Chain A
Amino acid sequence: MRQKSPTPPYLILTFFRWFCDPRMAEDIEGDLLERFEIRLTTKGQFRAKLLFIKDVLLLFRPSMIRSFQGQQKLNYYDMFKHNITITFRSFLRQKSSFIINLIGLSSGLTCVLLILLWVNDELKTDRFHENSDQLHYIMSNHTDASGTRTWKGTPGLLLEEIEAQIPEIELATAYTDTHEFTISTKSETPISLKVEGKFASDHFLSVYSYPLVRGNASSVLANNSEAVITKALAEKLFSNEDAIGKTIEWHFGGNKKAFTISGILENIPSHSSEQFELLLPWNFYHDELITFKQWGNYYARIATVLQANANPQLVTEKVDTIFKNNLEDTNVDLFLTPYSSLYLYGEYENGIQAGGRIEYVRLISFIALLILFIACINFINLATAKASQRMKEIGVKKSMGASKRSLAYQFLTESILICLIALGISGLLTLLLLPGFNQITEKEIALQFDLTLVLSVVGLVTLVGIVAGSYPALYLSKMEALSILKGFKLAKSSGGIGRKVLVIFQFTLSTILIVSVMVVYQQMQLIQNQNLGYNRDNLIYFEREGKLTDQSDAFINEIKNITGVENAAISGFMVGGLNSTGGVAWEGKTEKDQIQFWEYNVGANSIDLLGVEFISGRDFSEEFATDQDVVIFNETAIKAMGMDDPIGKSIVHYTGNKKIVGVVKDFAIGSLHQDVEPAIFLNRPASANLIMVKIDGTSTARTLQEIESAYAEFNPEFPFKPAFVDQDYQALYSSEQRIASLSKYAAALAIIISCLGLFGLTAFTTEKRIKEISIRKVLGSGIWRIVFLLTKQFSALVAIGILIALPFSYWAANRWLNDFAVKISLSWWFFALAGIATLVIAWLTVFGQTFKAARLNPANNLRNE
């Protein structure tokens, strides 16, 4: 074995090569090495190396350093020009793969662009408030035996206490969720509208940054008879007149009150998660309107602005202490959370922030990147597959002295250029698709060019260009000039394996997406058809206003006569529940039994109308005079209270002693994400603010029209605006629906792009094997045999892809389904179907090509040579 002689320090030598003027580099390097070798024998290895380093360092002086300008710059420019020319020529020469790449990359980029806009929009939501960093929201954790539930509600009484007692709180405001109210004006042409409004305390407009066009933010809501409306609403109500000082009449249920307009808001930006048109004074709501002003009722939303240096944790403790001083023996904890994070991280699990919309943001971004990656794979595959056609070019260039690096640059130029063209196309596509996209996502995204967006797009395109181009660049540039020009083909295995892996990967991703679409679709179907414990079909409701508050019985009797109306009743049932209370006591209740009940104020026969089944007992009825003092619970509530024979027993509600007359089967309070929770029905028609009507659904439009005309007779000054319970229910799943439709498009896109790539590859391989096919035909092989032969290889790849995809998709589907209380069972045929679908699509893609190749006349292909 020959012993390798010591070499000079490599790093130092590289350094020398880097800095030294290329005109002198060779001979000086030679000198350096010669001296090193001499010193090795005379002075030993260590000293030789040390002296070598010294020599090199002493050579590092201005006269030795290469120039960085001049000739070389010109050369770069020329090479760049040359590369672009070559790129366009190769595009022209390989039209099919150019077009496949272009379609793939531009649809991938369009997808990413749209998602980028969407993500950008999501991230901006609720972050426009000036106080954003100090803005904290008070939330409540309700703990009982079954766990902790987190709500946005807090007792309204808290506001004054925290303002007075906690110095770290600079500003605080209490307000309600947005509710639909009727507003009318008493001008010559009276207008009456349904508007989205909320009650808000005087600091609301200082805490949040909803700018006023007119009026002073700190005083507009201070007076109990003054209201603020948005510019758009002002235009609707008063057209071009000045709205300030004008009077509007507000109606809600049986209440009405005149308000003077004291301020006009800019229209609420779409980046606000709160959307409203009307603000009414909180004090009016708190002091005059509601009856449940207690520390145990969580009817208010409270937001605070902390001092810049305040510690939110400390403030949380102070708030919670104040709360507990006022309400002893509570199982509720209050805490502060940053307002800006609520939109994306609004979900809580056992009192701990557990994601929310951000998961969908991540998921969708991930899918978009996957699609783009699939398109990149096409580029890589086609470029390496077509390498043989460009070998002569590479060989000639290499023998003319092109370095590996300059060839790599050439291929990178090619891929970045095609990405830029694709970017242009996808820009146009994005513009075209944006309206449709906005519809699916329910957003108002416009293509605005701000710096971050432009930078991220340019960065993305460069990145895609490099990712897509790097493999071909490295692969093609490393080939040996000599062997290429001598006519050796590329070794068959090299590149082939990489290509196969990439095809497998593409189809793995496609299959995962197909399975996801199927699972999401099935689950949504299940949810649509799920028995919720009440019958939501053909159930409409509308607000009790004006005369409907005191003459509702007459109205109900009248509409019951309309053909198509099956039943009608006063109700307070809302999908998702309205209020919840802990103010229920029963015999045997201990301190630990802190149960929150969903509270429904309803009228007679309304539970029957809903189609909720009774386990025992009966519905509220007008036939019993004593029925204002009875309640009905659901099964879960009875179980939670631990009652054995509930009918006839008494409980203490915060409105008085009540007797239990009925127990109903559990029904879904809100979406099927939630488990069933305890619920209590109270017979309080006066507080139930809806009229619910069951129609038979045979001619909905006509029935609605007749109800409307009956309504107009009773309430001419109020607009009739019925809502459908099943639509409310659907709305609970809007984000899932959105995911369902987006993932449908994503899966379709992924499989199309994958198939395009497969198409390109098959076209290429069949072309390469055309002589083999011809010879086989001459020797007697049939068409189908040849088709089979050509399809076999791809089928194997696709099948492997599918096999890899199945466990992944099973895992992903399971994880997604875990969020639902009711879920489909994942049966094997889902996966089988998805796999077969992928395989069949792949076959169809390949079939045209292989069939054509198999049918060619062998004589044409074998004639020459």
Chain B
Amino acid sequence: MGKHHLGEFEEVVMLTVAILHGEAYGVSIIEEIENRLKRSVSMGSLQTVLKRLEDKGYLASELGEATSVRGGKRKRFFTVTNLGKEILKATKDQRMSLWSAIPDFA
């Protein structure tokens, strides 16, 4: 699993997409991250990461229906793929094994 390595921000984005569960698109992802983690995210960095994750096959996307808001532009909804889920779990397992290896953590 060495080559399938998630960066910190990548992990945050993937988890947020998973949390939003079918309602994850650009703005909602940013808002979710901002609300939960109190950190500000620029659209540029988010879109770059989304694109990279999609290229790797961890995320899938499809365009939604056009609505009258947001200038009639469609939303692109992201979902976590099975591969993505596996990677997330693997990342979590790695962290947990590290945690459990700490002898004494005050």
Contacts and interface: CB of A to CB of B under 8 A. Distances in A.
Interface of A: 24, 26-35, 37-38, 54-55, 57-61, 63-64
Contact of B42 (A29, A37, A38, A58): A58
A31 B25 contact: yes
A30 B70 contact: yes
The 7 A-B residue pairs whose C-beta atoms are closest, nearest first, are: A30-B73, A58-B44, A31-B26, A27-B76, A34-B70, A59-B44, A30-B70
A30 B44 contact: no
B85 interface: no
A64 B74 contact: no
A865 B70 CA distance: 51
Contact of B73 (A33, A59, A64): A33
B48 A64 contact: yes
A61 B44 contact: yes
Interface string B44-71: 1101100110000000000100000111
Contacts of B73: 26-27, 29-30, 33
Residue of B25, B44, B69 ringed by the most chain A CB atoms within 10 A: B44
A35 B71 CA distance: 11
A37 B27 CA distance: 11
Report the interface size class on chain B: 20 to 34
Contacts of B69: 34, 37
A60 B45 CA distance: 10
Contacts, number: 67
Given A27-B25, A33-B70, A37-B69, A58 B45 contact: yes
Contacts of A60: 44
A30 B30 CA distance: 14
B39 to A, nearest CB: 15
A30 B43 contact: no
Contacts of B42: 54-55, 58
A655 to B, nearest CB: 98
Nearest to B61: A27
Contacts of A64: 44, 47-48, 51
A30 B74 contact: yes
Contacts of B45: 58
A55 B25 CA distance: 16
A27 B25 CA distance: 9
Contacts of A26: 63, 73-74
27 contacts: A26-B63, A26-B74, A27-B25, A27-B26, A27-B75, A28-B47, A30-B26, A30-B71, A30-B74, A30-B75, A31-B25, A31-B70, A31-B75, A33-B71, A33-B73, A34-B70, A35-B43, A54-B42, A55-B44, A58-B42, A58-B43, A58-B44, A60-B44, A61-B44, A63-B47, A64-B44, A64-B48
Contacts of B47: 24, 28, 59, 63-64
A61 B30 CA distance: 19
Contacts of A34: 26-27, 69-70
Given A33-B70, A34-B69, A28 B43 contact: yes
B79 to A, nearest CB: 14
A28 B76 CA distance: 8
Nearest to B73: A30
Contacts of A37: 69-70
Given A27-B74, A28-B47, 13 more contacts: A24-B51, A31-B70, A31-B75, A32-B43, A33-B71, A34-B27, A34-B70, A35-B30, A58-B42, A60-B44, A63-B48, A64-B47, A64-B51
Nearest to B29: A31
B25 A59 contact: no
Nearest to B42: A58
Interface centre among B25, B47, B48 (most CB of A within 10 A): B47
A27 B73 CA distance: 6
A47 to B, nearest CB: 14
Given A31-B25, A31-B26, A35-B27, A63 B70 contact: no
A55 B75 CA distance: 17
Nearest to B64: A27
Nearest to A21: B51
Nearest to A55: B43
A765 to B, nearest CB: 44
Nearest to A64: B47
B71 to A, nearest CB: 4
B28 to A, nearest CB: 9
A33 B52 CA distance: 23
A389 B86 CA distance: 62
Contacts of B71: 29-30, 33
A31 B43 contact: yes
Contacts of A27: 25-26, 63, 73-76
Nearest to A31: B26
A544 B51 CA distance: 101
Nearest to B67: A30
Contacts of A32: 43
Nearest to A13: B71
Nearest to B77: A27
A59 B42 CA distance: 8
A31 B74 contact: no
B61 to A, nearest CB: 8
A624 to B, nearest CB: 110
Best-buried of A30, A32, A58, A64 by chain B (most CB within 10 Å)? A30
Contacts of A57: 44
Nearest to A58: B44
Contacts of A28: 26, 43, 47
